[in-house]
Structure 1
């Protein structure tokens, strides 16, 4: 299977999007993972909820949804803000000839630069794989990666891939790479993660670290994006994830 990870600027502009579309089409990617909430600036660096900013974020992601067909026939995985009645949610989705909701973010940070608990309501604690085109995929939204029990659960459900859309800082990249590698090791799945890059445009001044990664089921780094190569595509053998479930430490019972 041909998969693509990327690093995208804090405010996604047409030129960057068009470059990504050209890359995906040229490389004939079958699966593309985008960063967390890629269509708008990172508003969660503001400590107080702002209705105007929230509505702008919803509208920006509505507009992006109309362009995801440009990546066809690839399946696209990412997250977006949604309004569900009185609830504001960070919803993971996949796009495959239409929008399909997967689950909503459960673990919400509440600290400088990442006041997500002020902006979002907690989603349900539901970590169930979804299937598309015969492939079992789990999604961990950014901070959820730090709770290894869910990566292991995805492995027990037979996940071939765990997708991790991120919005993570440059200064903590080493920590995130450790977490991504551990998620692969405990699950026996390929882990694909994309991130924002560059400084956010608001007063919070978050410096995002980029580095989209493709990790093997044994925890090896197979590929990484960079400023000079913001999009990376490669072939992965899903049978490796099937075989990995039978080896240490995945076979050990609960």
Structure 2
């Protein structure tokens, strides 16, 4: 399986250009799984602690409109998150998209920070804390969204192959975030793969091995990273991974 992670701009005009570049990269690499940042299809709105219904509605609408553009990345599986309304509640929902099945809800963010640049609790609700893997194309994948990396859970009991982590992080936290991801990968014995917004958010998408080793990361000059990973396992045996190229 070839996995692609990326860092994408927050500014919308720059995002449109970067999207075209990402599509070209994914097609050239023949990627099987693409992980995008947290709520990538709108500018980051949760830096304010004042909820604005019009801003929220615009973000929901933008993500709905961009859903059809996920076909640009087909036949790859796409994992990311999006803002959603659920009755009178609002959530940051993790999704998996695959053609021809379309969008599948796989997670909802439960651990919401209240910090400078991330006043998420003012914008959407905290979901029930769950960690439920999904099987797709013979792999077990699961998701944590951003700050959920710091919430304690029994990941190692779930036997996931890939842990996707869409982020909208900031520069001061990058070092701690990567160390935490390395620890999660090691405890879950899974690849931890994460994408982030670039610029003021710090970028640095990365792929981490099940042994907790950083295999590669993006930069402002190289905003996309693809790695070919093979999984060898039989029922009842410990999973075992090889990385062929990146």
1:223 paired to 2:216: yes
1:155 Cα deviation from its structure 2 partner: 3.0
Distance 2:37 2:236 in 1: 29
Identify the residue that residue 144 of structure 1 maps to in structure 2: 148
Scaled by the length of structure 2, the TM-score of the pair is 0.91
Identify the residue that residue 158 of structure 2 maps to in structure 1: 157
1:174 Cα deviation from its structure 2 partner: 0.4
1:75 Cα deviation from its structure 2 partner: 0.1
1:63 paired to 2:56: no
1:154 Cα deviation from its structure 2 partner: 3.4
Is 1:138–1:154's contact at 8 Å kept on the other side of the alignment?
no
Distance 1:134 1:155 in 2: 19
Deviation sequence 1:201-251 (CA, Å, 0-9, x none): xxxxxx2010000000001111100001100101112238x999579xxxx
Is 2:94–2:145's contact at 8 Å kept on the other side of the alignment?
yes
Deviation sequence 1:143-179 (CA, Å, 0-9, x none): 0111242xxx333221001000001111111001101
Is 2:158–2:188's contact at 8 Å kept on the other side of the alignment?
no
1:175 paired to 2:182: no
Matching of residues 169-248 of structure 1 within 5 Å: 169-198=170-199, 207-239=200-232, 245=238
1:112 Cα deviation from its structure 2 partner: 1.7
Over the aligned positions, Cα root-mean-square deviation in angstroms equals 1.9
Residue 77 of structure 1 is aligned with which of 70, 76, 79?
A: 79
Identify the residue that residue 7 of structure 2 maps to in structure 1: 7
Scaled by the length of structure 1, the TM-score of the pair is 0.89
Is 1:218–1:244's contact at 8 Å kept on the other side of the alignment?
no
Identify the residue that residue 250 of structure 1 maps to in structure 2: none
Distance 1:116 1:43 in 2: 9
Question: CA, structure 1 residues 217+58, in 2 after alignment: closer, same or farther (shift >3 Å)?
Answer: same
Deviation sequence 1:35-91 (CA, Å, 0-9, x none): 000011110001110011011101111121110011000000000000111011000
Question: CA, structure 1 residues 243+46, in 2 after alignment: closer, same or farther (shift >3 Å)?
Answer: farther
Give ranges in structure 2 of 5+ residues lacking alignment.
241-246
Give ranges in structure 1 of 5+ residues lacking alignment.
199-206, 248-254
Is 1:129–1:154's contact at 8 Å kept on the other side of the alignment?
no
Distance 1:103 1:172 in 2: 24
Matched pairs, number: 236
Provide the secondary structure at the position in 2 that maps to 1:237: strand
Question: CA, structure 1 residues 164+243, in 2 after alignment: closer, same or farther (shift >3 Å)?
Answer: farther
Question: CA, structure 1 residues 244+46, in 2 after alignment: closer, same or farther (shift >3 Å)?
Answer: farther
Question: CA, structure 1 residues 104+82, in 2 after alignment: closer, same or farther (shift >3 Å)?
Answer: same
Distance 2:68 2:185 in 1: 33
Question: CA, structure 1 residues 64+20, in 2 after alignment: closer, same or farther (shift >3 Å)?
Answer: same
